[in-house]
Amino acid sequence: MSDNSNIMIECDNLVKIYKTSDTEVMALQGLDLSVYKSELMAIIGASGSGKSTLLNILGGLDTPTMGSVKVDGLDLRKLSRMELSTYKRNTVGFVWQNNARNLIPYLTAQENIELVGRIGKNLDKEYSTNLIDIIGLTKRKKNKLAELSGGEQQRVAVAISLINKPKVLLADEPTGAVDSRTSIAIMELFERLRVELGITIIIVSHDQDVAKHVDRVVAIRDGKTSSEILRTEMINNMENLSAFEEEHLELAVVDRAGRVQIPAELLEKLSIASRSKVRIDTEDNKITIYPVNEIH
């Protein structure tokens, strides 16, 4: 996966600073990220970690303070206002947590989907019909909004985000307002969209269970990528893994300064407190970190 021609999104040393009258908040602190064409990936992190800021930048809704961000070969920082508008209209689609609230209640599922295409003057009837089939609402397409469940309404919202045939779909907490059963169904829908449409999908979530449905999970901590969770089918010669690890493996990310963010649960397991001093040794091509109380 090192071929640059296969990269859809490339973020390099991305920095975002929000300024108020008396303070500055650094939402992104030199974030690096590559996303591949037709990849289904998730970005997870605690509130305030910078994941939604990253999604807004990728969607052209916000601009970085420093660094570069390229999507499908376009350098978003260099686009004019008109070019950025075209980018938002043609290259990316959005799914928000409460997207279904923006649907028109007196229209049917099919009419809601086609309305966006008519407004943008790019309605493709055959494509919109295909979308209805893909989201699994073929038999419900003539039902009005009030006759659809919350999960079905969210499916309609997903279809609307795809009506402009985007290359990238950005989803911000798309399962946050539904129950666990519906959440699984929506994640399975994203998997199907990736396969049938060949679209690149990025899902922002606080729920680590999304790892079960995506190719890769990138964890963001303090505005930087701290670790990645990959399907282990992408990694050779893996043995002695737990049930979850049989399908997924978490890898720490080394930044350009050689720093590694160690997951909090590992620090807690080793009784290493924040800002503690540790000893680092190398042996047999391995790096070992020793807590202070194990240094003799």
* CB contact at 8 A, 8 and 72: yes
For the segment 6-37, what is each residue's pLDDT rounded down to a tens digit? 999 999 999 999 887 788 888 998 899 999 99
Farthest-apart Cα atoms in the chain, separation = 73
The answer to whether the beta carbons of residues 137 and 155 sit under 8 Å apart is yes
Q: For residue 199, give every residue at least 6 positions away whose Cβ sits within 8 Å of its Cβ, in sequence order, or none.
A: 38, 162, 166, 167, 168, 169, 193
- Judge whether residue 166 has pLDDT over 90: yes
pLDDT in tens, 104-128: 888 999 999 988 878 766 778 888 8
Beta pairing class for 7-19 and 24-36 = antiparallel
pLDDT for the residue numbered 259:
67
Q: What is the pLDDT of residue 291?
A: 73
**Which residues on neighbouring strands pair with residue 47, listed in sequence order?**
none
Q: What pLDDT shows up at residue 233?
A: 46
pTM above the 0.85 mark?
A: no
Segment 1-7 mean pLDDT? 69
Q: Read off the pLDDT of residues 209-249 as tens digits, 9 standing for 90 and up.
A: 777 888 888 888 888 777 776 654 444 444 444 444 445 55
Q: Check: CB of residue 290 under 8 Å from CB of residue 296.
A: no
Element (H, E) at 112: helix 109-119
| pLDDT (0 to 100) of residue 278 | 76
CA atoms within 13 A on the CB side of 177: 16
Pairing of strands 279-283, 286-290: antiparallel
Tens digit of each residue's pLDDT (9 = 90 or more) over 51-60: 989 999 999 9
pLDDT (mean) for 82-86: 93
Choose the most confident range, by mean pLDDT, from 97-106, 192-201, 246-255: 192-201
Q: What's the pLDDT score for residue 263?
A: 66
Q: What is the pLDDT of residue 145?
A: 86
